Amino acid sequence: MKILQFLATAVALASLGWPVAAATPEEHAAALRERASAGSGAYEIVESLTTEVGARPAGSAEDAKAVAWAVEKFKALGYDKVYTEAVTFPTWRRIGESAEVTSPATHRLAISTLGGSVATDPDGISATVIEFPSLNALEAAQADAVRGRIVFISQRMERRRDGSGYFDVLPIRSRAASIAGQKGAAALLLRSLGTASNRLPHTGSVDYTPDMPRIPAAALSAPDADLLSRLLRRGETVRIALRIAVDSRPSHVSHNVIGEITGRERPEEYVLIGAHLDSWDLGTGAIDDGFGIGVTMAAGKLIGALPQRPRRTLRVVLFANEEQGFHGARRYAARDAAELSRHRMAAESDWGGGRIIAIRSPHLSPSLAGALDRALAPLGVRTASGGTPGPDLGFLARQGMPWAQLEQDASELFDHHHSANDTFDKVDRAAIDQNTAVYAAFAYLAAEAD
Residue 3 pLDDT: 44
The pLDDT of residue 17:
61
CA angle 297, 299, 305 (to 5 degrees): 105
Alpha helices in 324-408 (DSSP H): 327-333, 337-340, 366-376, 393-397
DSSP state of 308: S
User: In Å, how far are 104, 106, 132, 257 from 300, measured between CA atoms?
Assistant: 58, 54, 48, 14
Position 6 scores a pLDDT of 39
Q: Report, as residue numbers or ranges, the catalytic residues.
A: 322
CA dist., res. 402 & res. 423, Å (int): 33
The string of DSSP codes covering 43-76 is HHHHHHHHHHT----TTSHHHHHHHHHHHHHHHH
DSSP, res 290: I
Q: What is the pLDDT of residue 298?
A: 98
Kindly give the pairing relationship between strand 125-132 and strand 150-153: parallel
pLDDT at position 90, please? Answer: 97
CA 353 to chain centre: 10
**Residue 266: beta bridge partners?**
312
The pLDDT of residue 355: 98
| Whole-angstrom distance, CA of residue 401 vs CA of residue 203 | 31
Give pTM, 2 decimals: 0.94
Walk along the chain (450 residues) in steps of 10 and give the mean pLDDT of each run.
40 54 89 97 98 98 98 98 98 98 98 98 97 98 98 98 97 98 98 97 97 97 98 96 97 98 98 98 98 98 96 98 98 94 98 98 96 97 96 96 98 98 98 98 96
What pLDDT was estimated at residue 367? 96
At 19 the pLDDT is: 72
